[in-house]
Each structure stands twice: as structure tokens, then as C-alpha cells.
Amino acid sequence: MFHHLILQCIDKFRGERTTSGIYNLLTGKRSSQTMQDAKGYQVDDFFGIMPDLRRKQLDAHIHPLIQEGLIVVNDQSFPTLTSSGKDALYSYKGPKIQYFKGMVWHEVIPSFWRRVYLLIQMMANRKAGIKHYYPIVDDYQAQRWARLVYHKFQHKLPRLIQSLYEEIHTLLENHSVIEANLYVHRLTGGKVIGLTVEQLKEMYGMNDVDVQLHLEHTHYYLFLEAKKDKESYPVLHLCTKGLDVTYLITQSARKTYQYFMQGLSIDEIVTLRKLKKSTIQDHIVEAALIIPDFSIASFLSDYDVDDINNMALAMDTQKLKQIHEAFNGKYNYFELRLALASGQHRIEGRNSTT
């Protein structure tokens, strides 16, 4: 599955981004470059879905793809798909990658799965009559949450337990078998302790990155389904409570954004915050990317924005240098980035209305 994901990323990046770009995307690097790429190349669903991925692991998985002739890396280290790479991408038979929504949810997914694992252990142990045990998730916030739920619903625990079992059962029935297997064998409760990634990898004969990716995919699946359907999945829905979209914006960018909303100019913010102009500009681009109703009218007219986006569309690229040259320097880089960033929302808006 990881290979498929890598091929997808390379395909979307169209030879315009390096392996580092892929790495930054998957691990969710907080930089305006990475975020802008995620949006621009429409891979924002994969943003931050593998926070623990190590660079060495990624390289180890890219290497065989080169050897098998599925991708080629040019001398500027931009990978592209070969024609057999394209075939491999389209003929992929594994579980479809369909539930990741990284840009929106990657920050809350860990809280969600921790809650679920703990709650399952608590409920299952209660049903099995096991009173003394170690919580399987060593996280203070999650433990506090689970204790609260347990006390709050003390009077109707048996019903809650049965519902939790049925909710998971129903959701997994509509999920790929391999991912259902991996997920359930990871769970701890009653008389069984869950398996480690190492053991799952052995049992199902796959590599450890795939094990983790499949588990994460299932976490997203359960989260999204539970979030949108409270009626069908009341207990899992409970586990999503309070886990909301946080506008993915760095603390520093937030500050700049606040000053900007108070009517300060970029130069005034530069003086006030004692930061470089380019940094403040990064913040503005970040805000334009993330915050849907952020107005950039003080920098660019609607006409300019359309002008730039149309050019990018016509040239079929997100590469700033090429666009800059095409305009003969009519717009500076900051304006280009800003226009492309805000252009994203227009495209999304159009897609969702059609």
C-alpha cells in the first residue's frame, strides 16, 4: 500500500517536487511550502498521515521502485513515473486509499484512536469481569477522557459495551478484510492483548510501514464514519467529541494573521514583530491557504488572482519560476504564491457546487 501511495504522490507532483517534498507532505511538515504544495497538487489528503515516518524508511521504499523501473529520478532529484509506473498505479489491487483526510484531521486522529483503544479495553474487561489491568494506552489525556466516559455512563454500561461491539463490527464489515484483520488484532481487551506492529507484520507477511499505514487508514475510516453518523455509531461518535478541525496554522502565523486583521500593513508587522519581511509574507500565504474566507484584496485584485491562476492552469504547472517568467515579472513571487493559495479555495468551491 505504501508503494501505491508513493506512486500516487509522484504522479500528482508531476516531476515538479523532490522526494523531500513527499517526505514533508506525509510527515506533515509545518511550512508554507509544504502546505501550499499539498493544496496546489491536490495531495492535501495525505498531509501528515505518517507523522512517525523516518526519512530512511521512505528512501528504502523508493529505492526498489527505481530498480523495478516504475519511477525515474532526474539529475535534479525530481522523481517521475515511467509508463510501467503508470500501469502499476492504475492496476493496483490492494485496499483502495480512500479515507485519508490528512490536512483537515491529522492533528486529532491520534487522540481519537487512543480513546477508542482505551475504551474498548475498559469495556471489554468490564464484560469479562477483569478488574485489575494496565491501561494499554499510556496517555494522560486519553485516560482521563476514558475515566470520565466510564463514570458518566456507569448506569448503562452493558448497553454501551454491546453497542461499541456492534458499531465496530458493522463498520469493519464494510471495510477491506485485510485492514479489518490488522485492526482487530491490534486491539486489547478481555483475555487478549493486542499484537505489536512487528507481530502483525509477521502474521500477515507485509512490511511494517504497510502495517502502520493500514492501521492509520482504518483509524481515519472509523473516525470519519463515526463523526458524520451519530445515530448509527453513538459510542464511536462519542470518541470523536471535542476533536474538531483546528485551522492548521502555526502559532507565529496566527499572530501575524491577528495583526493583519487589525489592519496593520506587512511593513508595520515586520517592525512590530522584528521578523524578516519574507517570514511575514509566508504567514500571509499560510493564512490564505488555510482560512477559507481570508481576503487578499489589499494585495491583489480579483482580476490579478484570476490572471495568475489562469496562467498556471494554461501552463499546467505550480512552479513559481515558470509562471514568473511567463508574466515577465509583472507579479512578484509573493503575489504569485498568494494568488495560487487563494485560487485553491475557488477551485474547491467550484468543485463542491457542481
Partner 1 sequence: MRVDLYAALKKYFGFSSFREGQEEVIRDVLQGKDVLGILPTGTGKSLCYQLPSKVMGGTTLVISPLISLMVDQVKQLKSSGFQSVTALNSFMDKEEKQKVMNRLHTFSLVYISPEMLQNQRLQQRLQHMNIKLFVIDEAHCISQWGHEFRTDYLKLDQTIDLLKNPPVLALSATATPEVQQDIMNKLRRPHMKKRIYPMDKQNISLAVEEHLSPEEKTERIIEVLTKNQAPTMIYFSSRQWAEKVSFELRDRLKQRVAFYHGGMEQTDRMLVQQQFMNNQLDVICCTSAFGMGLDKKDIRIVIHFHLPPQLESFIQEIGRAGRDGEDAVSLLLFTRQDHHLPQRLIQSELPEKKDLNRIFSFLQKEREVPEDEDIMERFQLSESQWNFVKFKLEEEGMIRGRWHQKVPSAIQQKIEQSLENRWVYKQNKLTEMMKWIHETDCRRTSLYKPFQEVIRKPHVPCCDACDFKLDELSFCEDYKEYKKSSWEERLSLIFSQGVLL
The x, y and z cell numbers of residue 232, run together, are: 448509527
Minimum CB distance to partner 1 smaller for 133 or for 333? 133
Task: List the one residue from 168, 288, 308, 340 that touches partner 1 (CB under 8 A).
Answer: 168
Q: Is 332 in the site for partner 1 (CB under 8 A)?
A: no
Q: Is the dihedral of CA 327, 333, 334, 340 positive or negative?
A: positive
Q: Is 154 in the site for partner 1 (CB under 8 A)?
A: no
Q: Minimal distance in Å, beta carbon 232 to partner 1? A: 18
Q: Is 161 in the site for partner 1 (CB under 8 A)?
A: yes
Please report, as residue ranges, which positions from 33 to 52 form the binding site for partner 1 (by CB under 8 A).
52
Minimum CB distance to partner 1 smaller for 78 or for 153? 153
- The interface region with partner 1, picked from 101-109, 123-131, 148-156, 324-332 by CB under 8 A, is 123-131
- Residue 194: HSE in the Cβ half-sphere, 13 Å Cα cutoff: 21
Whole-number Å distance between alpha carbons of 333 and 119: 50
Task: List the one residue from 93, 132, 151, 350 that touches partner 1 (CB under 8 A).
Answer: 132
- For residues 310 to 329, the per-residue mask of contacts with partner 1, x marking binding by CB under 8 A and - elsewhere, is --------------------
Task: List the one residue from 56, 134, 231, 352 that touches partner 1 (CB under 8 A).
Answer: 134
Q: Is 163 in the site for partner 1 (CB under 8 A)?
A: no
Q: Is 15 in the site for partner 1 (CB under 8 A)?
A: no
- The interface region with partner 1, picked from 78-86, 97-105, 177-185, 283-291 by CB under 8 A, is 177-185
Q: Minimal distance in Å, beta carbon 247 to partner 1? A: 22
- Beta-bridged to residue 80, according to DSSP, are 72
Q: Is 194 in the site for partner 1 (CB under 8 A)?
A: yes
Q: Minimal distance in Å, beta carbon 163 to partner 1? A: 11
Task: List the one residue from 190, 268, 322, 327 that touches partner 1 (CB under 8 A).
Answer: 190
Please report, as residue ranges, which positions from 103 to 122 form the binding site for partner 1 (by CB under 8 A).
120
Minimum CB distance to partner 1 smaller for 9 or for 50? 50
Q: What is the largest CA-CA distance in the chain?
A: 75
Task: List the one residue from 14, 29, 86, 127 that touches partner 1 (CB under 8 A).
Answer: 127
Q: Phi and psi dihedrals of 134, rounded to 5?
A: -90, 135
Q: Minimal distance in Å, beta carbon 181 to partner 1? A: 5
Task: List the one residue from 137, 269, 270, 300 that touches partner 1 (CB under 8 A).
Answer: 137
Q: Is 235 in the site for partner 1 (CB under 8 A)?
A: no
Q: Is 192 in the site for partner 1 (CB under 8 A)?
A: yes
User: SS in 3 state form for the chain?
Assistant: CHHHHHHHHHHHHCCCCCHHHHHHHHHCCCCHHHHHHHHHCCCHHHCCCCCCCCHHHHHHHHHHHHHCCCEEECCCCCEEECHHHHHHHHCCCCCCCCCCCHHHHCCCHHHHHHHHHHHHHHHHHHHHCCCCCCCCCCCHHHHHHHHHHHHHCHHHHHHHHHHHHHHHHHHHHCCCHHHHHHHHHHCCECCECCCCHHHHHHHHCCCHHHHHHHHHHHHHHHHHHHHHCCCCCHHHHHHHCCCCCCCCCCHHHHHHHHHHHCCCCHHHHHHHHCCCHHHHHHHHHHHHHHCCCCCCCCCCCHHHHHHHHHHHHHHCCCCHHHHHHHCCCCCCHHHHHHHHHHHHHHHHHHHHHC
Residues contacting partner 1: total by CB under 8 A:
43
Binding site for partner 1 (CB under 8 A): 52, 120, 123-124, 127-128, 131-138, 140, 158, 161, 164-165, 168-169, 172, 177, 180-181, 183-185, 187-199, 202-203
